[in-house]
Amino acid sequence: MSSYAGAMEEADPLTDALVQSAFETIAVLSRVSAEHDLSLTLVRVLGILRDRRLRISALAGFLGLERSTLSGLVDRAARRGLVERLPSASDRRAVEIALTAAGRQLATSVAAEVRQALAPHTASLAPADRRRLQQLLERTLTQPGTGAAK
């Protein structure tokens, strides 16, 4: 049964490359986050909130974390003036989390730094290859709408 190259194949160079790339990318993100005294998770939250407001539970869903975790995280971020809790118009139990002006500014500059910090990795690619890589990656990402939308 070994001549059939099926699901039990040994090593897959694409998987390895994806995993390797993921670790290096996360390492860079962690470093940049730490330089701003932000946890990686908070940086993710700031990034997510750049173009929307979300409730605690939606945020938790996005990140794959528990609501209680987000509750505390938002708490500390709010104390630092990065986000604010706005009462939901439609549901008096819920709060909408939004960036403050300071939070937005921080999110922007962190994003810029991440881009720069990642640049050495992508610099060796010609513009056409950069576009190709981007498009290929996007095709491997979970499509919004597919999957765990519940």
Partner DNA sequence: TCAAAATAGTTGGCATAACGAACCATGTCA
Partner DNA sequence: TGACATGGTTCGTTATGCCAACTATTTTGA
Site for DNA, rule CB under 7 A? 39-42, 55-58, 64-76, 85, 88, 91-96
| By the rule CB under 8 A, 149 interacts with a second copy | no
Asked if 54 contacts 96 with a C-beta cutoff of 8 angstroms, the reply is yes
Among residues 85 and 104, whose Cβ is nearest to a second copy?
104
140 interacts with, out of a second copy, DNA, none, CB within 5 to 8 A per kind? a second copy
12 interacts with, out of DNA, a second copy, none, CB within 5 to 8 A per kind? a second copy
- What's the angle, vertex CA 35, arms to CA 52 and CA 120, rounded to 5? 85
142 interacts with, out of a second copy, DNA, none, CB within 5 to 8 A per kind? a second copy
| By the rule CB under 8 A, 26 interacts with a second copy | yes
Residues 6+ apart with CB under 8 A from 130: 122
Q: Segment contacting a second copy (CB under 8 A): 73-81, 83-91, 98-106, 115-123? A: 115-123
